[in-house]
A = this chain, B = another copy of it.
């Protein structure tokens, strides 16, 4: 069908092409008018105010507060009108790439579409204006929602009970390992070590350490998988648990998981699964059926709650029945037709305690439950299938253009590297920055660590075939450019409002907040 945007779809163009100076990038990127915007603190005259508040009672002073504990006002705060605030944040927002502006194949982050209906539902006054200490009879709706979500997450994981409270994935890991520690303590010895493969995400060892565990790293095999003999060699009575991610961060299914689980269980250890990649398994396979004892979800990945530029997330933890007693409070229960939060340690003497204030990131529960309700059983399964289809489609089209370090089957994401481009002095960093000029967010780069110059691509199921093809076109154009015009690639990105930023300088002379007369040099 004829395209008359005056924009040459760059599949061909780029292939010919010494870069982008002609038409738009394969993702539609071109240049347009955006605005510079100073820091809030660098503007304007004082005495302005962007809010409208009730007056103070006549003659009110704060005299009852000791003078030395009081202050008149906070110096340095900006004073700007509502319009100026709106312009400020509207203008700077344009500098961002989001899922709503374009494809965001950030591996391991599951950047799927965030439904607008979930945003509307989470803002219903009955949810948004609810105080956490509302008596049970005044918050049955919230508790019912939490109970349904708890049931669904336990079912999807193939486990028995889920604690909703952890605030993010890493928090869920911490929680899961506390549960594991409590289990061993109850048996008399917390044990010393946690095993994890070299493909593990950084939060895994960090969470283990925060729990007082030593980390022992296991080498994954040439097929990108962890092998039973590796585990057998490392497994002993000192090992509290093994932490696996399945599919792992290479997007590869740990197909020996059950055998590994048996080995670990045989020595009294437990199996923790990092559920960040659950999108691959939704409705298709369940960690609980593979020998996993504990898993955390990332609702902000698998269940489409917004990432928000870095959170808030939500990391519920599902466990087997015998571990449920150790879960942190609160837990939601149903008694007859009524719902209740269990919050007292008297009722749950074995609990590890409490992981955060109140009950968890409730607004995320609303969004996740809305998605599950809209999907239903078939939709949940189809989500996993299409996520895997999309990743494999990209893999098939890019194979040969970029080096595929592991031939093993991919599930929801695929990892390439820059081996083929290195010859021309082009690195994964260059490829990533050039993708920006095409209008795409780069994949996750330089992770997992087992792959030098990794390009970790996770399309998610909400992206269309055409979008994937445009992304592939850009990747091919860049591979071509690496040969014909490597310098142009080093210069990328050229279309963004800021060019490549100097991260070394930022770390060498940290400037972490505005101060009057602040200098950056």
- Chain A residues near B (Cβ < 8 Å): 1-5, 7, 24, 27-39, 42-45, 48, 52, 81-84, 86-87, 90-91, 94-95, 97, 99-102, 113, 115-116, 374, 436-437, 439, 462-466, 493, 495-497, 516-520
A502 CB to closest chain B CB, in angstroms?
12
Cβ–Cβ contact B3 & A81, under 8 A? no
Cβ–Cβ contact A42 & B519, under 8 A? no
Cβ–Cβ contact B436 & A28, under 8 A? no
A39 to B83: give the CA distance in the assembly, Å.
32
A321 to B437: give the CA distance in the assembly, Å.
65
Cβ–Cβ contact B81 & A43, under 8 A? no
A47 CB to closest chain B CB, in angstroms?
11
Q: Which of B2, B32, B39, B437 contacts A95 (CB 8 A)?
A: B32
**A30-B35, A87-B101, A91-B101 known; A465-B45 Cβ under 8 A:** yes
Chain B: CB-nearest residue to A84: B464
A83 to B518: give the CA distance in the assembly, Å.
41
Residues of the B chain whose Cβ atoms lie less than 8 Å from the Cβ of A48: 464
A99 to B81: give the CA distance in the assembly, Å.
14
Cβ–Cβ contact B42 & A33, under 8 A? no
16 other A-B residue contacts (CB within 8 Å) besides A30-B33, A32-B33: A5-B36, A28-B36, A28-B37, A29-B35, A31-B32, A31-B34, A32-B32, A32-B495, A33-B493, A33-B495, A35-B439, A83-B113, A86-B113, A87-B101, A91-B102, A94-B94
A24 CB to closest chain B CB, in angstroms?
4
Q: Which of B34, B39, B81, B516 contacts A464 (CB 8 A)?
A: B81
**A24-B36, A87-B100 known; A82-B42 Cβ under 8 A:** no
**A33-B29, A34-B30 known; A82-B116 Cβ under 8 A:** yes
Residues of the B chain whose Cβ atoms lie less than 8 Å from the Cβ of A496: 32-33
Cβ–Cβ contact B516 & A1, under 8 A? yes
A311 to B250: give the CA distance in the assembly, Å.
52
Residues of the B chain whose Cβ atoms lie less than 8 Å from the Cβ of A45: 464-466
Interface of A is mostly: loop
A87 to B441: give the CA distance in the assembly, Å.
14
Residues of the B chain whose Cβ atoms lie less than 8 Å from the Cβ of A35: 24, 27-30, 101-102, 439
Q: Which of B7, B52, B94, B116 contacts A38 (CB 8 A)?
A: B7
**A31-B33, A94-B32 known; A4-B42 Cβ under 8 A:** yes
Residues of the B chain whose Cβ atoms lie less than 8 Å from the Cβ of A495: 32-33
A91 to B437: give the CA distance in the assembly, Å.
16
Residues of the B chain whose Cβ atoms lie less than 8 Å from the Cβ of A81: 462, 464
Cβ–Cβ contact B42 & A5, under 8 A? yes
Residues of the B chain whose Cβ atoms lie less than 8 Å from the Cβ of A44: 464, 466
A520 to B7: give the CA distance in the assembly, Å.
13
Interface centre among A32, A101, A116 (most CB of B within 10 A): A32
Cβ–Cβ contact B86 & A90, under 8 A? no
Residues of the B chain whose Cβ atoms lie less than 8 Å from the Cβ of A90: 100-101
Residues of the B chain whose Cβ atoms lie less than 8 Å from the Cβ of A464: 44-45, 48, 81, 84
A234 to B255: give the CA distance in the assembly, Å.
96
Cβ–Cβ contact A86 & B102, under 8 A? no
Cβ–Cβ contact B31 & A82, under 8 A? no
Q: Which of B4, B30, B52 contacts A497 (CB 8 A)?
A: B30
**A87-B101, A100-B90 known; A466-B43 Cβ under 8 A:** yes
Residues of the B chain whose Cβ atoms lie less than 8 Å from the Cβ of A39: 5
Cβ–Cβ contact A31 & B115, under 8 A? no
A5 to B115: give the CA distance in the assembly, Å.
35
Chain B: CB-nearest residue to A35: B28
Cβ–Cβ contact B36 & A34, under 8 A? no
A307 CB to closest chain B CB, in angstroms?
15
Chain B: CB-nearest residue to A38: B5
Q: Which of B2, B30, B91 contacts A36 (CB 8 A)?
A: B30
Chain B: CB-nearest residue to A467: B84
Residues of the B chain whose Cβ atoms lie less than 8 Å from the Cβ of A102: 35, 87, 91
